[in-house]
Amino acid sequence: MSKAKIQALVLFILIAVLIFLVYGKQIAVMAGWPSAVRSGSWLAVKLHFVFGADVNAVKPGFKTPIEEAFSLQPNPDIINEILNHKPDRAKLVEKDTSLLIRAMSSSNFAKLPSDQTIDILKRLIELGEDVNLIEGAFTPLFMAIQLNRSDLVKFMLESGANPSIEITNGDSRFVRTIFDVLRHCNNNEIIEVLLKNGADLGSETLMQAAIDSKNIEAIRMLAKNGVSLNTTNSKHYTTPLMTVVTFFDESQVREFVELGVDINILDYFGRNVLATCVQYNKFELAKFFIEKGTNVNYADKFGESLLSYFLDQQQRIKDLSDLKVRLEFLALLKSNGLNINFQNPNDGMTAVMRAISREYSDVWISLLASMDDIDNNLQDNEGKTALIHAVEKNREQLVRILLLAKADTSIKDKSGETALDYAKEMGSTKIGDMLRNGVTDSE
């Protein structure tokens, strides 16, 4: 190469260097930041700073350098290089955007070694990131749980994360809490970290979350550490025992009971576990609880008895075999002291009256009405008997059954009317004849 060419090349290089020294900042911002960060090259990013690039500058239509670094496959060296230049948090992202959440939700950030992820999160907090900032449906702690990372959960708690935050996003009808994240968590270490770090969740949250995720090992661990099995979930109105009965198999239910649960604990509505067993047709489990001493006589907040719940489910009978199981269960309830004459304290109605008013099948009502210890002449708060209710519903077969069971036709309600008066008002000639003349078994 000739001397002239060498001089020209040197001059070109000097001019290029001078341009970069003078305009390097603008070049880096307007053209270089996105490509440099996306290249995954720490050297490319380093050179941008060497040439005076502003860590807070943003090319129109592009993300900030730190956001760009999190949005792709994270390179800890690049992220730390950017953080070394102490970016201004206020200029990086909008105030309702959490860099902690953005970092943890990036595609491969959570796959980095624990010490690297925690170091980066720590530096973001030092930069001014709020560990309790809500973005969308998450807080940084919620995101750490979602990622199934017990180390990040521990770090967030130690950094001041509040596990009791409720997220409404402006609509108080839809509240999202840590429970909604935990209920999908099968990581015992996370639950243990929350427990050991004194997270103010309320024992029901941890236990209910372990139950909802069907995590029997976590349930054992929590019970061993003194977390109560006997709470009523304020959000879902149920008890841990009822949830276990609903979703677990029989052997797991029995194990749960042996952990020390109160088999007579009531849910928000005042129902015990037998109501759940009946609702889900788990009669073998119901038998187990009855043998354990669960109360068969109780009234919930609406005054409804277990017998009423039992009758509510009889529309679901599948076949004769199912019918036999239910009949045997009813006999079991009776043999264990079920009061079939129980009256709802709110309206005075018996199970027979309620079944008639809800127009249930004649079979079950007839069965109850024909029992030896049934009192078919009890009156509800309006003075009506089961017979009057049957006449009101024009249930000829039930009127006949009740008359055969010695129902008293002369009883008057509080307005002074008898069953016959009701029949006349309704124009029920056949029922009226039965009430006047009586019935026989041969009819």
Does this model's pTM top 0.75? My answer is: no
Q: What is the pLDDT of residue 35?
A: 67
Coil, helix or strand at residue 342 = coil
Dihedral sign computed on CA atoms, order 416, 418, 424, 427: positive
Picking from 194, 204, 212, the residue whose alpha carbon sits closest to that of residue 150 is 194
Q: For the structural domain made of 229-332, what CATH number should be given? A: 1.25.40.20
Q: Give residue 263's pLDDT band: very low, low, confident or very high (50, 70, 90).
A: very high
Q: Give residue 109's pLDDT band: very low, low, confident or very high (50, 70, 90).
A: confident
The CATH superfamily label for domain 340-443 reads Ankyrin repeat-containing domain (1.25.40.20)
Percent of the chain with pLDDT over 90: 36
Q: Read off the pLDDT of residues 36-54 as tens digits, 9 standing for 90 and up.
A: 676 677 777 777 777 677 7
- Mean pLDDT, rounded, of the chain: 83
Tell me: pLDDT of 403 over 80: yes
Tell me: pLDDT of 274 over 90: yes
Tell me: pLDDT of 430 over 90: yes
Q: What is the pLDDT of residue 21?
A: 52
Burial (CB < 10 A; 0-12, 13-18, 19+), residue 228, is middle
Q: Read off the pLDDT of residues 127-185 as tens digits, 9 standing for 90 and up.
A: 888 999 988 889 999 999 988 899 999 999 999 998 888 887 666 666 787 777 877 77
- Which residues, in sequence order, are CB contacts of 187 under 8 Å at separation 6+? 148, 150
Q: What is the pLDDT of residue 185?
A: 76
Residue that wins the pLDDT comparison between 160 and 13: 160
Return residue ranges of the chain for CATH 1.25.40.20: 132-228, 229-332, 340-443
Domain 132-228, what fold?
Answer: 1.25.40
Distance CA 286, CA 245 (A): 10
**First and final C-alpha spacing in the chain:** 127
